[in-house]
Structure 1
Amino acid sequence: MTSPPPPAATGPAVAALRAALETTGFTVDGVEELLGETASGALHREQTLPARRAAAGSDDPRATLAALFLLGVDVARAALDRALPGVGADGAVGLGLVETAGQGSDDPVRAVVDLRPYAATDANGPVSWWLTSDLGETATGRRLAVDHVLGAGGASTTLAQVTVRDQVGRVLDLGTGCGIQALHAARHAGSVVGTDISRRALAFARFNTVLNVPDADLTLRHGSMLEPVADERFDLVVSNPPFVITPHAGEPGAAVTEALGEFEYRDGGRSGDDLVRDLVTGVGSVLAPGGVAQMLVNWEHRRGEPWTERVGAWLDASGLDGWVIERELLDPAEYAETWIRDGGTTPEREPAAWASAYGAWLDDFASRDVEAVGFGIVTLRRPSDVGTTAGRVTLRRLEEHHGSLRQPLGGHLAASLAAHDWLEAHDDDALSSARLLVSADVTEERYLTPGAADPNVVIVRQGDGLGRGIQASTALAAFVGVCDGELTVGQTVGALAALLDVPPSDLAGELLPAVRGLVRDGFLGPA
């Protein structure tokens, strides 16, 4: 399938488009207000009929733009002229956004790219932009092209929300796609470099940069993985790489190859999770001392080998501090179904291609004894030569958290990294001399047998971040309850030891490791 040319990023014309979109109110809130809750919810599920009904017959400019760019509905030239003041249909044609059937006011106009409002909140606060990408199956009714450029999907938004947003000098967005991570990074970086193997993706990223952050110091480079920046260093690397595990063995035929979905935006052309492994082990080569890399990736769970050992070996080989959080786990059948549908193939429309692709995926997983596929967040950091760590790897965490998150998570992850460093600089004597405060989001849950005076179980729970709940002993719950910054840790342990009639050294041996965990995870912090 031949893709249309990407939009043309000409400065003055794009500035006029930005002004028109602002004037029209074509924002996430504006579209949801127009369509209503039911139609908006259906559209998020890629069901367009309720939205088509809500927009039909409306002369609201937002309805015109939503019908054209979000729903794949042709609109009249005169309606688009009204919806984009100062740009009009001719200007949209010049930008490469639409094509027209003629010059008459009632002649139809058809979108050739997806242009939609984008709103998100990262650790720096809310953003409201517009993003161009290729039209999806919802609008076209066709399978995606191999060179399809994806817009900001769920993974893109998640990565933007979990990324730490400290002010930094240089940021690398590896595999930039339509450029969404680079746009977020431009708000807190001196300069940003975005790379991609797809020249088509770089063209969309360039257009989106000019449309949303025209004054940003943002450079786009063509090339695979780390090759375009091999001899450079960055303070932050973000990546939503082509991590989808896709079968490549054999000659399945054109129809099955299309159904397998070897799309540039998601398939790195490697076997299994080799691409992710190489990125984890190699990204340290472009990190400055103290630099952080964050990515969303898949990894295989193989029979007889705990995933923590397998991915943990990648961390060991990287020479970096590493923190891996598994957010989701799919069995091989679920994984195959997800990505075959993602490429536009369904069992109802193409049963033979669906069955062949499904079988190829299951055979590929079976060849490596894959029992499941994990999806999650990888945070890496190059140890700094400054301070007590002296260039040593000190952080190695691999955990599963399949529950809900309170987004944006980037601030929590940054605070946890800082807490880890603080703990590394404080041995038990120094910790005992410190004063701690309980975080404002921490609550305590008590579970009692009916009629009992004392609780059977006490849970200390955080409302922010990962929403962890820790089962606390009586002593630990009491310790957390009195952390108001007045007493030192040692003084608090001493007072509790007297109250509980136990030796202070024994209580310190019980509490200090638990207190370290609570500081690391954000329940407690230095006063």
Structure 2
Amino acid sequence: MADLDSERRADDGIAALRADLVDAGYTAAAVREAWGPLADAAIGAGLPGPARTALEGRADALATACLLFFLGDPLPRKRVDAALPRVGADGLVALGLASTADGVVAPTALIRPQDFADDRGEGEWLIASDLDEAALRGALPTGHVLGVGGASLTLAGLQLPAPVGRVLDVGTGCGIQALRARRAADGVVATDVSERALWFTRVNALLNGVDAIEVRRGSLFEPVAGELFDRVVSNPPFVITPRVAGVPQYEYRDGGMAGDELVASFVRGVGAVLAPGGVAQLLGNWEYRSGAPGLDRVRDWVSSSPVPLDAWVVERELLDPLGYAQLWVRDGGTAPGSTAYEGLVDAWLADFAARGVTAIGFGYVLLRRRMPESAAAPLARYERVTQPVPGPLAPHLAEALDAWDRLAVLDDAALAGATLCVAGDVTEARHHLPGAESPSVIELRQGGGFARVVEVDPALAALVGACDGELPVGVLVDAIAELLEADASALRADLLPRVRELVFTGILQLS
């Protein structure tokens, strides 16, 4: 009974806090307007000074919320009570979001507005997380629970949009992926090894009035052994960290395993918790060892899964060991030029050298449990795509999977009988040498999706240009063969595999 009473009080306290923040007008747009574009850019660079300067002299509720919850500044108790009349300073303390001493309220967590958009519309969340380096004015503690960062937003933009039943969020952190998943799911189970992370996930679900998010403590798939999910999402603690004394082990980024074994374990094990046809999406790092491509290592992990999986792995970045070490040493709050910085970088480099690591890849992993009755060839796509993408990739990923499934049941004869259209975001570019009548290079440029640029020959360019949903592919190929005075059968054998690729990548669409 005592636990139920405390839960009700927490629910009431969070509801009061949310109402206060709504009354204060504490939204992402209002915050940006309050301190202006320069200060907003400085915040993104970890420099809160300009924002504090912009808010000087203001005592309104919005400015108070910005200082207290966005920047993590201690404020006079009277000011907090006036700005947040429902919850007040005592309520924040009871919720574990602040401490008080000598008439001053010091936040113990940040609460920041985060706007979002998906195929269901636009909205905004309030996301609570631990104080960051700027608020702490120093290095992060190892138990730090991260707020919404670039990786979080990337994965949120990758989540497939179709409605599903149950979703598993592995390594939930502050719960941002669970909130995003719940928009398409009947229910979400969010897991983490950190009790504090699970606490933040509960707080954020309450702050945003989102139900049906269940939290469980444990590593990887241990908390859900024997259960099946329609979708699994994970921004796991994939950072490769040396296992030596003196190197901090941050829970939010370090899974406690050597090298890239955390991601390997996820890939090998996720099939057991996926329902047939279920999809897992995660971010990860993988090592290049002794010159062997990292994507080949991921391919081996997929092959070693006891459950057959489709796989689409996209490597987005590649860092050398020094660049990787510097990135993550700085991320922990250790400043370049210090003795500690040099020692940590040396530890990373020694760890990589011990395994023969020559580079570290980062990218997106999409895995799908194959249907038992499927006779189609598995999807096994491992590629590097490093160019900037124009927007969230979730719709494109969903369309590509659908295209793969439709293509899988079409042999070459059936594909030749299909009609195709050029996607609306595709343009063609032709490059000529000065004075030349014929182009030396023909490119198809994709405006959406992965913004691919595909070089094509005149025959394929002619076929794509003629795809308007009217005539079957085979008829078009025969006409092009006659025009080019080529053998129609040989041209068909050459073009159809490339047509399949253009359909999968979204440049052509099945009518």
- Asked if these proteins are the same fold (TM beyond 0.5), I'd say yes
Residue 230 in 1 paired to residue 225 in 2?
yes
Task: Look up the match of 1:144.
Answer: 140
Task: Look up the match of 2:78.
Answer: 78
Task: Look up the match of 2:422.
Answer: 438
Question: Of 309, 313, 317, which residue of structure 2 is paired with 1:324?
Answer: 313
**Could you say if the C-alpha distance between residues 125 and 62 of structure 1 is closer, same or farther in structure 2, counting changes exceeding 3 Å?**
same
* 1:312 shift after superposition: 1.3
Q: Is contact 2:291-2:358 (8 Å) kept?
A: no
Q: Is contact 1:9-1:206 (8 Å) kept?
A: no
In the TM superposition, 1:282-431 aligns within 5 A as 282-318=269-305, 319-348=308-337, 351-386=338-373, 389-390=374-375, 394-431=378-415
Q: Which amino acid aligns with 1:485?
A: G
* 1:190 shift after superposition: 1.1
Q: Is contact 2:24-2:65 (8 Å) kept?
A: no
Looking at structure 2, the residues matched to 340 and 280 of structure 1 have their Cα atoms a distance apart, in angstroms, of 26
Looking at structure 1, the residues matched to 359 and 123 of structure 2 have their Cα atoms a distance apart, in angstroms, of 36
Q: Is contact 1:320-1:383 (8 Å) kept?
A: yes
SS at match of 2:304: helix
Structure 2 length-normalised TM: 0.95
* 1:420 shift after superposition: 0.9
SS at match of 2:22: helix
Q: Which amino acid aligns with 1:57?
A: G
* Cα deviations by residue, 1:228-269 (Å, 9 ceiling, x for unpaired): 1110001100011111111114xx3xxxx2xx2201111111
**Could you say if the C-alpha distance between residues 264 and 8 of structure 1 is closer, same or farther in structure 2, counting changes exceeding 3 Å?**
farther
Task: Look up the match of 1:118.
Answer: 114
Task: Look up the match of 2:152.
Answer: 156
* Cα deviations by residue, 1:407-455 (Å, 9 ceiling, x for unpaired): 2101111111111111111011110111111111111111112333322
Question: Of 463, 488, 509, which residue of structure 1 is paired with 2:472?
Answer: 488
* 1:295 shift after superposition: 0.4
Q: Which amino acid aligns with 1:211?
A: L
Question: Of 215, 231, 240, which residue of structure 2 is paired with 1:245?
Answer: 240
Q: Is contact 2:110-2:131 (8 Å) kept?
A: yes
Residue 211 in 1 paired to residue 207 in 2?
yes
Q: Which amino acid aligns with 2:388?
A: S
In the TM superposition, 1:128-143 aligns within 5 A as 128-143=124-139
Q: Is contact 2:288-2:359 (8 Å) kept?
A: yes
Looking at structure 1, the residues matched to 219 and 275 of structure 2 have their Cα atoms a distance apart, in angstroms, of 20
493-502 vs 335-344, which deviates more? 493-502
Q: Is contact 2:71-2:110 (8 Å) kept?
A: no
* 1:274 shift after superposition: 0.9
* Cα deviations by residue, 1:382-413 (Å, 9 ceiling, x for unpaired): 00135xx34x6611111111220122101111
Residue 180 in 1 paired to residue 176 in 2?
yes
* Cα deviations by residue, 1:332-363 (Å, 9 ceiling, x for unpaired): 11111111111121135xx2222221111110
283-292 vs 397-406, which deviates more? 397-406
**Could you say if the C-alpha distance between residues 450 and 377 of structure 1 is closer, same or farther in structure 2, counting changes exceeding 3 Å?**
same
Looking at structure 2, the residues matched to 9 and 426 of structure 1 have their Cα atoms a distance apart, in angstroms, of 59
Task: Look up the match of 2:65.
Answer: 65
Task: Look up the match of 1:3.
Answer: none
Residue 43 in 1 paired to residue 38 in 2?
no
* Cα deviations by residue, 1:497-526 (Å, 9 ceiling, x for unpaired): 222222321221221111111001011111
Looking at structure 2, the residues matched to 500 and 19 of structure 1 have their Cα atoms a distance apart, in angstroms, of 70
* 1:33 shift after superposition: 1.1
392-401 vs 200-209, which deviates more? 392-401
Q: Is contact 1:173-1:238 (8 Å) kept?
A: yes
Q: Is contact 1:123-1:410 (8 Å) kept?
A: no
Q: Is contact 1:80-1:89 (8 Å) kept?
A: yes
Q: Is contact 1:122-1:162 (8 Å) kept?
A: no
Looking at structure 2, the residues matched to 455 and 311 of structure 1 have their Cα atoms a distance apart, in angstroms, of 39
Q: Is contact 1:168-1:236 (8 Å) kept?
A: yes
SS at match of 1:486: coil
* 1:85 shift after superposition: 4.4
Q: Is contact 2:294-2:360 (8 Å) kept?
A: no
Q: Is contact 2:72-2:109 (8 Å) kept?
A: no
Looking at structure 1, the residues matched to 287 and 458 of structure 2 have their Cα atoms a distance apart, in angstroms, of 40
SS at match of 1:444: strand
Q: Is contact 1:320-1:381 (8 Å) kept?
A: yes
**Could you say if the C-alpha distance between residues 328 and 126 of structure 1 is closer, same or farther in structure 2, counting changes exceeding 3 Å?**
farther
Task: Look up the match of 1:221.
Answer: 216
Looking at structure 1, the residues matched to 8 and 34 of structure 2 have their Cα atoms a distance apart, in angstroms, of 29
* 1:124 shift after superposition: 4.3
Task: Look up the match of 1:466.
Answer: 450
Structure 1 length-normalised TM: 0.92
Looking at structure 2, the residues matched to 236 and 459 of structure 1 have their Cα atoms a distance apart, in angstroms, of 36
Looking at structure 2, the residues matched to 204 and 126 of structure 1 have their Cα atoms a distance apart, in angstroms, of 23
Residues matched between the structures, number: 503
Task: Look up the match of 1:4.
Answer: none
Task: Look up the match of 1:89.
Answer: 89
Looking at structure 2, the residues matched to 370 and 39 of structure 1 have their Cα atoms a distance apart, in angstroms, of 40
Residue 53 in 1 paired to residue 53 in 2?
yes
* 1:176 shift after superposition: 0.7
Between the two structures, name the one with larger relative contact order (CA 8 Å, sep ≥ 6).
Answer: 1
Q: What are structure 2's unaligned runs of at least 5 residues?
A: 1-6
SS at match of 2:469: strand
SS at match of 1:300: strand
Looking at structure 2, the residues matched to 221 and 69 of structure 1 have their Cα atoms a distance apart, in angstroms, of 27
Task: Look up the match of 1:524.
Answer: 508
Q: What are structure 1's unaligned runs of at least 5 residues?
A: 1-6
Looking at structure 2, the residues matched to 466 and 347 of structure 1 have their Cα atoms a distance apart, in angstroms, of 35
Task: Look up the match of 2:3.
Answer: none
Looking at structure 1, the residues matched to 476 and 121 of structure 2 have their Cα atoms a distance apart, in angstroms, of 37
Q: Which amino acid aligns with 2:258?
A: S
Root-mean-square deviation over aligned CA pairs: 1.7
* 1:477 shift after superposition: 1.2
* 1:49 shift after superposition: 1.3
Looking at structure 2, the residues matched to 27 and 299 of structure 1 have their Cα atoms a distance apart, in angstroms, of 38
450-459 vs 159-168, which deviates more? 450-459
60-69 vs 394-403, which deviates more? 60-69
Looking at structure 2, the residues matched to 9 and 484 of structure 1 have their Cα atoms a distance apart, in angstroms, of 62
Q: Is contact 1:118-1:130 (8 Å) kept?
A: yes
Q: Is contact 1:123-1:163 (8 Å) kept?
A: no
Looking at structure 2, the residues matched to 224 and 177 of structure 1 have their Cα atoms a distance apart, in angstroms, of 12
Looking at structure 2, the residues matched to 240 and 123 of structure 1 have their Cα atoms a distance apart, in angstroms, of 21
